[in-house]
Amino acid sequence: MILMRSGLRLYTRPLRSDQTGDLDLKFSMNTGKVEALENSDFVIVAVRVGGLRATKAQIEIPFRYGAVSIVGDSTGPSGKLKAITEITAILDLAWTHEDVSPNTMILNHTNPVAAICTAVHMASKIDIVGLCHGYPLSSHL
């Protein structure tokens, strides 16, 4: 199942057999980082640290100083603020990976994708792949 967190609610979407083919996939959900990472082959990361309140601040703070962001999640001052917030959380996850499951790969689906992947690559030993939802071949993931 694919998990999406919105506020305090968790939503699940079961995978149909026609989506997985002959793959032997097992998905699990856990609230603890260590337990979630044990015996995993890869981890899909899609987070928004601070929720909509943080997103609002990341857009409004630069706006007060004349920097207008159209989206504000990848570039410009808003993207930089988002990068600082998201990178901190994802690096914490990557460092936990190093201790618990060093061969686990992160599949990152969080913007700013390039900044996050670069930070994890430079600051940890964990492999990471960035998946941009705006790229046609990865948008169905």
What contacts 56, CB < 8 A, 6 or more positions away?
none
Taken as a whole, the chain contains a residue count of 141
Active site residue 97: no
- Yes or no: say if 79 and 55 are a contact pair by the CB < 8 Å rule: no
Name the active-site residue from 97, 109, 121, 133.
133
User: What is the spatial distance between Cα 46 and Cα 18, in angstroms, rounded to a whole number?
Assistant: 24
**Helical ranges in the chain per DSSP H:** 17-20, 33-37, 51-64, 76-100, 113-123
Give the β-pairing of 42-45 and 105-108: parallel
Please tell me whether the peptide bond between 112 and the residue prior to it is cis, using omega within 30 degrees of 0.
yes
List the catalytic residues: 133
